[in-house]
Amino acid sequence: MTRFLLRRLAVALLVAMTVLTLSFMLTRLSGDLAISIAGPNATQEDVELIRRAYGLDRPLTVQYFDWIGRAVLGDFGTSYFFRERVSTLIGSRLPITLTLGLVGLGIALVVAIPLGIIAAVREGSWVDRAVMLVALVGQAMPSFWLGLLLMVVLGLQLQWLPISGTGSWEHFVMPGIVLAFSAIPALMRLTRSGMVEALASDYIRTARAKGLTRLSILAKHALRNAAIPVVSIAAVQLGFMLGGSIVIETVFALHGVGFLAWESISKNDFPVVQAVVLVLALIYIGLTLLADLLNAVLDPRLRA
């Protein structure tokens, strides 16, 4: 178990280093930063001034190691646009995105896992086909469209939920549902196929031969084995939700990290862009690590 942990940690660290390098390189590749910061009306002298002020005149390697040295300590510099420390900026936006992501994943799991199990148990029946149809529709529906639809129905007509902002937990329900919808099809399909495979296995036949109850066979013996791919994908999905919630955050006016990323990209605020990419990537890496650990808990064969 210790060896497994160390190996996973080492891999996570390597990936983090790669992301650090990539996020630095991508912002430098997108054009001369000094020119874009200075704006279209700046003179050559202005650009030179800015280049020196932001240290962009130094060799790339120096800039790179300087940036890494600070980033490791949590110092991502100051935003050009917001005139604020990038770390405070992200710190204030991250809880919104995290809440949204967790609500979305929660809803997705609560819906997808039972439906997947039911579809597997009734494999080939109309229930199975109905569930898979819902999965197909969910996969095909654009999330901004579903968001607007929910706003019209739940927000404006029924007036059950607020349509925008972050004032209370109710504000997270609708965007949570929309986010969940994008994750449900994959989670449901995986639960279903995992359960179908598990239920056809020899150890389930043994469990039945032992006279165990249906509940014990499904929940204890089949689900535990079917859950392994679901856990991996759930972690990836949560990563997607956190990084890819830009559309949802825009539609529901939630000022989370996704919204921040969109703003800073359009303003060429490269310290913020770099930091957002890095933070999201680190969360992603953390989630993958967590999924690996959970899987090792579920399947003893992975602990070697």
Partner 1 sequence: MTAPLLDVRGLKVQFGGHTAAVRGASLSLRKGETHCLVGESGCGKSVTALAVMGLLARGARRQAEVLSFAGQDLRNLSEGRMSRLRGDRMAMIFQEPMTSLNPAYTVGSQMTEVLRRHRGTPRAQAVDRAAELLGRVGITAPGMRLGQFPHQLSGGLRQRVMIAMALMCEPELLVADEPTTALDVTVQAQILRLLAALQRELGLGILLITHDLGIVARIADRVSVMYAGEVVESAPTAQLFAAPRHPYTRGLLSCVPVPGKVRRDEPLGSIPGVVPRLPPGFQGCAFRDRCPHAAPACAGPVPRQPAGPEHEFLCTLPPDWVRRAEAA
How many CB atoms sit inside 10 A of residue 191's CB?
Answer: 26
> What is the crossing angle of helices 173-199 and 126-140, to 10°?
140
- Based on CB atoms, which residue is closest to partner 1, 207 or 278? 207
Structure tokens at 98: 């995290």
- Based on CB atoms, which residue is closest to partner 1, 29 or 209? 209
Subset of residues 147 to 186 that bind partner 1, contact rule: CB under 8 A: none
Confirm or reject binding of residue 98 to partner 1 (CB under 8 A). Answer: no
Q: Pattern of binders to partner 1 over 256-285, x per CB under 8 A?
A: ------------------------------
Q: Pattern of binders to partner 1 over 221-250, x per CB under 8 A?
A: x--xx-------------------------
Confirm or reject binding of residue 216 to partner 1 (CB under 8 A). Answer: yes
Q: How far is the CB of 113 from partner 1 (least distance, A)?
A: 17
Rounded CA-CA distance 304/301 in Å is 6
Subset of residues 64 to 83 that bind partner 1, contact rule: CB under 8 A: none
Among 106, 170, 213, 219, binds partner 1 (CB under 8 A): 213
Residues with Cβ within 8 Å of 211's Cβ and at least 6 positions away in sequence, in order, are: none
Place of tokens 């980033």: 71
- Based on CB atoms, which residue is closest to partner 1, 40 or 124? 124
Structure tokens at 25: 């390189």
Bin 159: left if φ > 0, else alpha if -120 < ψ < 50, else beta: left
Confirm or reject binding of residue 212 to partner 1 (CB under 8 A). Answer: yes
Confirm or reject binding of residue 301 to partner 1 (CB under 8 A). Answer: yes
How many CB atoms sit inside 10 A of residue 220's CB?
Answer: 12
Length, in residues, of the chain: 304
Among 211, 260, 262, 264, binds partner 1 (CB under 8 A): 211
- Based on CB atoms, which residue is closest to partner 1, 52 or 220? 220
CA dihedral 273, 277, 279, 281 (to 10 degrees): 180
DSSP string spanning 277-297? HHHHHHHHHHHHHHHHHHHHH
Check if the beta carbon of residue 188 is closer than 8 Å to that of residue 118: no
Among 29, 158, 209, 215, binds partner 1 (CB under 8 A): 209
Q: What is the CA radius of gyration of the chain?
A: 24
Span near partner 1 by CB under 8 A; candidates 15-23, 28-36, 198-206, 258-266: 198-206
CA dihedral 26, 27, 32, 33 (to 10 degrees): 180
- Based on CB atoms, which residue is closest to partner 1, 17 or 302? 302
Confirm or reject binding of residue 203 to partner 1 (CB under 8 A). Answer: yes
- Contacts with partner 1, residue ranges (CB under 8 A): 201-203, 205-214, 216, 220-221, 224-225, 298-301
